[in-house]
Amino acid sequence: MQGWHAVLGSGRLNHIRPFAIFFCADPAAVGLRGRIARSSAWPTLRRPRKLFDGNSMPHLGRLQPANLIKRAADGWHARRADSLRIALQSLVASLLSYAVLAAIDPSNATWAIFSSLFTLQKNFDRSMRYGLGQMAGAVFGTAVGLAAIHVFPGSEQSMLRLGLTTLVTCSVTAIWPATSYGVVAAAVIALAPSTGISDAISRAGAIILGSGIGIAVSMSVWPQLARQRVFNFIAAALDDCSELLNHISIFDQPHDRAALDALHERFLGHLELARSVSIDTRIRAHFQSGLTLSSALSATERLWHGLVLLDRIGSAHGSHFTMGDREVMMDVGNNVKTCGALYLSRLAAYVRGGHAAPDPDACSRALNEAHETLREELDCSAARESYDRYRSLHSVIFGFEQVGENLIDLHQLLLRNTSANCTGNGS
């Protein structure tokens, strides 16, 4: 059990079946080539099943440095694209607001321009929420401001009016943050009661019109739905999984742990960004298969945990393997890395959109072959020669099984009810 503490205690590894501990704990319960003797003292385990089913896929090559450079360039482009999108939308919204208000109410053009600019956000879903909130806030703030003038009509009571409007509107904003623009509308009326009711209503109308213009611009000028941003973050997380698979220490010499820690932080960052953006999603908040965004994020996280588990197994048990074991693992590991890493990259491209759904057959064969090859290493002499080696090989087999099942679960969730030749995810 101490070996498993070393593996599981090194990170937040969820979704791991508890029978694995029993699987590695009692060598007497396991026979030649993985045949498991039934015993009343230990749980009965199912026979190893094929992790995937499939027969055909073109040969997949290892990720090249050019792919890593392209991935970094894509990230840079995405960040710059957000800034350019907001800049272009702001230009169009401000000019359109000015043109419209100059024709119908020039005195309130500034309010319409500010309202349209504050409406624009990084995605249309969020812009719509902010715009509708500003509309509601303008109406509510105007009503509160006019009520404050009625309660405290004197010119010397400006502070009382301001305090009352601020208290009421800020209380509402604490519950519905999108209505924060109402604080401004109410405060302006409270500080300038001489402008009259008609001017207050005209100002509210300008704010509502500016918000509507902002929503329209966000929808029509270089639009981006929140769901597409979530897709991009999930794809980036899958790229991180692909990179981790290429660096798992069980397949090769141990890599720089600092670099792996940085990769782990990057994955968690992509996952957190995806979850925060998914909260804003209002339009088609699911994949083409019907899978919800939260389910896709959970499946991606499970895959990552399986890969981390496999890496931790290599770190914790690597010293117990013989040279023959290492040669076998290098052989099967290179095949798994080659097929698995590129499959994940193709799956990431599909999630981003515009690419055909990948076929997992080559990846399935690589994982199944690795699973079976390592089981052949577990002969009757393994436990007698070295229990540590025996337990370590069982741990590796379990790691392969966990990764394989997480991979196929993710594939089936993302691609169920979709045609084989579909491209993208319906974005």
What is the predicted pLDDT for the residue at 251?
65
Token duo for residue 100: 């419209």
- The mean per-residue pLDDT over the stretch 258-284 comes to 90
Task: Assess whether 232 and 205 both reside in one domain.
Answer: no
Q: Do residues 309 and 16 touch, judged by C-beta distance below 8 A?
A: yes
User: Which residue from 375, 367, 356 is spatially nearest to 310, judged by alpha carbons?
Assistant: 367
User: Which residue from 387, 378, 316 is spatially nearest to 26, judged by alpha carbons?
Assistant: 387
Q: Examine the pLDDT at 249 and tell me if it is beyond 80.
A: no
Sign, CA dihedral 68-404-54-357, equals: negative
Within a domain: 423:
no
Task: Assess whether 379 and 236 both reside in one domain.
Answer: yes
Task: Assess whether 192 and 308 both reside in one domain.
Answer: no
What is the predicted pLDDT for the residue at 207?
96
Within a domain: 115:
yes
Within a domain: 56:
no
What is the predicted pLDDT for the residue at 132?
96
The stretches of 105-225 forming alpha helices (DSSP H) are 109-119, 124-151, 158-175, 181-191, 197-220
Q: What percent of the chain has pLDDT over 90?
A: 45
Task: Assess whether 166 and 277 both reside in one domain.
Answer: no
Identify the residue with better confidence: 228 or 196: 228
Task: Assess whether 173 and 82 both reside in one domain.
Answer: yes
- The mean per-residue pLDDT over the stretch 69-85 comes to 68
CB proximity list for 267: less than 8 A, separation 6 or greater: 237, 240, 241, 244, 304
Task: Assess whether 238 and 211 both reside in one domain.
Answer: no
User: How many domains would you assign to the chain?
Assistant: 2
Within a domain: 298:
yes
- The mean per-residue pLDDT over the stretch 354-376 comes to 84
Task: Assess whether 191 and 297 both reside in one domain.
Answer: no
Task: Assess whether 208 and 246 both reside in one domain.
Answer: no
Q: What is the pTM of this model?
A: 0.73
Q: Examine the pLDDT at 16 and tell me if it is beyond 70.
A: no
The residue from 220, 243, 275 where one domain ends is: 220
Q: Give the burial class of 88: count Cβ atoms within 10 A of its Cβ; 0-12 exposed, 13-18 middle, 19 or more buried.
A: middle
Task: Assess whether 277 and 366 both reside in one domain.
Answer: yes
3 state SS of 268:
helix
What is the predicted pLDDT for the residue at 318?
73
- The mean per-residue pLDDT over the stretch 302-317 comes to 88
The overall average pLDDT reported for the chain is 79
Within a domain: 12:
yes
Work out the pLDDT band at 326, boundaries 50, 70, 90.
confident
Within a domain: 424:
no
Task: Assess whether 268 and 208 both reside in one domain.
Answer: no
Token duo for residue 260: 């792996």
Token duo for residue 218: 């966000």
The residue from 220, 243, 263 where one domain ends is: 220
Within a domain: 384:
yes
Task: Assess whether 25 and 109 both reside in one domain.
Answer: no
Residues of the domain holding 198: 78-220
The residue from 220, 247, 263 where one domain ends is: 220
Task: Assess whether 141 and 214 both reside in one domain.
Answer: yes
Work out the pLDDT band at 319, boundaries 50, 70, 90.
confident
What is the predicted pLDDT for the residue at 31?
36
Within a domain: 57:
no
